[in-house]
Structure 1
Amino acid sequence: MNLTNATWRKASRSTSNGGQCVEVARISGTVAIRDSKDPGGPALLLTPRALRHLAAVLRNN
């Protein structure tokens, strides 16, 4: 999937001090997640349902 025209948003809990930051973009029914410190690096592609499931699992661990 081509993500060059994606509109990326930084997670609300990310800080500006160079810490652990993620960005998300929604494109064609897919949610892309990337490390904001490495915007040219790999992106994880998930369906919105899979992202909700992942968030629930992470919250409960």
Structure 2
Amino acid sequence: MTIISERLQHLRLTHSYTQTELARTMGVTRRAVYAWEHDKCPEIPHLIQLAQFYQVSTDYLLGLTE
């Protein structure tokens, strides 16, 4: 797992969302959420959307800050 995958999965579980619930919120498939949590980096627009949704920075998601 990459840092981004680990952080996305951690944030989702911390906020008590299922992959399906997050997928609906993000307007993507559950399969996309699964891929993000297993080493496929989200495209930039989704990365920004995820950061806004979880109220964290994109730098945090990318592992550039703690």
CA radius of gyration, larger in? 1
Work out which structure has the larger RCO, using CA pairs closer than 8 Å and 6 or more positions apart in sequence.
2
More strand, by proportion: 1
Please indicate, yes or no, whether the TM-score normalized by the shorter chain is above 0.5. Answer: no
More helix, by proportion: 2
